Amino acid sequence: MAATEILSRADIVKAPEVRVVPRTDKPSLIGLLREDMAKLLVERGVPERQVKMRVSQLWHWLYVRGVSDFDEMSNVSKDMREMLKEHFTIARPEIVEEQVSNDGTRKWLLRFPPRGAGRPVEIETVYIPEEGRGTLCISSQVGCTLTCSFCHTGTQKLVRNLTAEEILSQLLLARDRLGDFPERDTPQGAIVPAEGRKITNIVMMGMGEPLYNFENVKTALLIASDGDGLSLSKRRITLSTSGIVPEIYRTGEEIGVMLAISLHAVKDELRDMLVPINKKYPLNELMEACRAYPGLSNARRITFEYVMLKDVNDSLEDAKELVKLLKGIPAKINLIPFNPWPGTNYQCSDWEQIEKFADFINQAGYASPIRTPRGRDILAACGQLKSESERMRKVDRLAFEAMMIANHGED
């Protein structure tokens, strides 16, 4: 898409009523496992014999009802609410900006406090509605320590890991804004699935490498999938990694969500250049970890992401090798048209070539959806969300071609 098209932003609707929440330094009760929440309550004088009941009450209010104000917790006594207010917060993060694309894609720019020295940080969360599902793309870090050569996030330094609260808050806030909690209204004219939940799937495909922030990502995803709370099925949560092999094993054992691998090359020599973590965890080790991933079947496949880079990894020879490499692994292949950014030396493969590549792997028996560009007008691009720390010049941002995800997780 030409940059001029991106410059015509007439269809962007700025969402009304964006609340600016005053932050406090109080610890949040969001993003804590039950036992950690219990500990905090006991420290504040809640009797041991009551604590389990109190945690269940809070859990229900926070994750089923989605409240962000202690005063809404109508079955919690006034004294208890006062105590909670004095010592804790359950406020949502600050929304700097909310944009809605004409295709219904929504993007929130959120600001989190510095956590120690430094400046506040900003991250993006993106919602993509499709027929029968709504996918939320969540960030795990501000920036990334890895330096994949085709990824814009890879050119930004890691500023910090997001906390479990900050990861989970992206989901809570999106559910607030979409009216996806009981007794909440969906904004007029919003494009959402016709029935049921507005957010049906989560993908950890925003900014950052989730497996380099393992503990916080794990906690957030365990809470998101908890059956007494947010209740998202683990089959509808997909974690995307560039291939941090030891943590792939741990993801299978300790989190149990669906896995997506940013493969992008089928030979070590090329993958070393595109995804440099490959030098540490080469393809044979990565494939071994994939084969060992628990619970794989035709209904539960690993997604392999493959960015289409002109004359780099897009030949039919590559397609052939790809099929060979994945042999025996229940797999889906996601071909991603490369999304160029200012200063990159790569180009997106020609559409014809992408189709030829897709046909080849289809014939080999793999469904290989090509990701449909979404939310172009609001620059909602997974894999290259920007951060405040190294904010691009506006003119550069506008030169982005935005591309969005589709076809992740189970229906």
Which residue lies nearer to ligand SAH by CB, 192 or 265? 265
Query: Rounded to the nearest 10 degrees, how much is the dihedral formed by the CA atoms of 149, 151, 155, 160?
Result: -130
305 binds ligand SAH (CB under 6 A): yes
> Which residues are 127's β-sheet partners?
106, 136
Report the alpha-carbon distance of residue 277 to residue 272 in Å, rounded: 7
Residues 256-315 that bind ligand SF4 (CB under 6 A): 262
Q: Binding ligand SAH by CB under 6 A: which of 98, 124, 209, 318?
A: 209
Q: Spell out, one character per residue from 26 to 65, where the chain touches ligand SAH: x when CB under 6 A holds, - when not.
A: ----------------------------------------
Looking at the Cβ atoms of 38 and 237, the one nearer to ligand SAH is: 237
Choice between 102 and 149, CB closer to ligand SF4: 149
Contact 406, 369 (CB under 8 A): yes
Cβ at position 152, least distance to ligand SF4 in Å: 8
- Say whether 194 sits in a helix, a strand or coil: coil
- The interface with ligand SAH within residues 216-245 (CB under 6 A) comprises 240-242
Rounded-to-integer distance, Cα 390 and Cα 156, Å: 7
Q: Which residues are catalytic?
A: 124, 382
DSSP result, 92-147: PPEEEEEEE-TTS-EEEEEEE--SSSS--EEEEEEEEEETTEEEEE---EES-S--
Give the 3-state secondary structure of residue 391. Answer: coil
Min dist. Cβ of residue 223 to ligand SAH (A): 20
Of 114-122, 141-149, 323-331, 344-352, the window that binds ligand SF4 (rule: CB under 6 A) is 141-149
- Rounded to a whole number of angstroms, the minimum distance from the CB of residue 29 to ligand SAH is 28
SS3 1: coil
Q: How far is CA 34 from the centre of its chain?
A: 23
Q: Report d(CA 93, CA 172) in Å as an integer.
A: 10
Choice from 128, 383, 386, 408 touching ligand SAH (CB under 6 A): 383
- CB of residue 263 vs ligand SAH: minimum separation in angstroms? 8
Least distance in Å: CB of 198 to ligand SAH? 22
Contacting positions for ligand SAH (CB under 6 A): 148, 150-152, 205, 208-209, 240-242, 262, 305, 307, 336, 338-339, 382-384
